[in-house]
């Protein structure tokens, strides 16, 4: 899916971002779970990157929609993000899985995450609330404690 830009600096509404995620969801490949997911990730510069989940018979090989969108964004040069809309085929809004939370947190915890279920309900979370203690470069770079 190609990246798009918002019109002349005008930010997309949550509804427009969700509409792009719905289009991506329709392209999902989920023959095993039947759980279709689409995501639309908005970069700070206004570009929007979409992704869908891609399952595999070897379950760990599958990829979530959020990480597909993130990979698309990174290969296009985006490194800072403001919002992500997630649309699933489930009735109630579903937050990103733990692996996706960690992947998104790599690029900043200020991200707002909206999920929409087929029942029409939506929930918005700050990523920092979904993953309060992420693993990070700062934690890896912390000096080692002095031993006995």
Q: Among all residues, which ones are annotated catalytic?
A: 66
Sheet holding 4-5, edge to edge: 4-5, 47-52, 37-43, 81-88, 112-116, 122-126
CB-based burial label for 34 (10 Å; 0-12, 13-18, 19+): exposed
Q: Cβ(70)–Cβ(42) under 8 Å?
A: no
Question: What would the 3-class secondary structure string for 112-134 be?
Answer: EEEEECCCCCEEEEEHHHHCCCC
Largest CA-CA distance found in the chain, in angstroms, rounded: 61
Beta-carbon count within 10 A of 36 CB: 21
Cα separation, 78 vs 72, in Å, equals: 9
């Amino acid at each position: 899916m190609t990246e798009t830009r918002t019109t002349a600096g005008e930010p997309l509404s949550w509804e427009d971002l969700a509409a792009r995620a719905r289009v991506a969801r329709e392209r999902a490949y989920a023959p095993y779970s039947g759980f279709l997911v689409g995501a639309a990730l908005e970069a700070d510069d206004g570009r929007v990157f979409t992704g869908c989940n891609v399952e595999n018979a070897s379950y760990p090989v599958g990829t979530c929609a959020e990480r597909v969108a993130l990979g698309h964004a990174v290969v296009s040069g985006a490194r800072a993000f403001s919002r992500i809309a997630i649309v699933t085929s489930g009735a109630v809004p579903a937050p990103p899985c733990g692996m996706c939370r960690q992947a998104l947190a790599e690029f900043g915890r200020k991200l707002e995450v909206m999920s929409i279920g087929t029942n029409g309900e939506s929930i918005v979370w700050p990523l920092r609330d979904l993953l309060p203690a992420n693993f990070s470069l700062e934690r890896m770079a912390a000096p080692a404690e002095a031993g006995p």
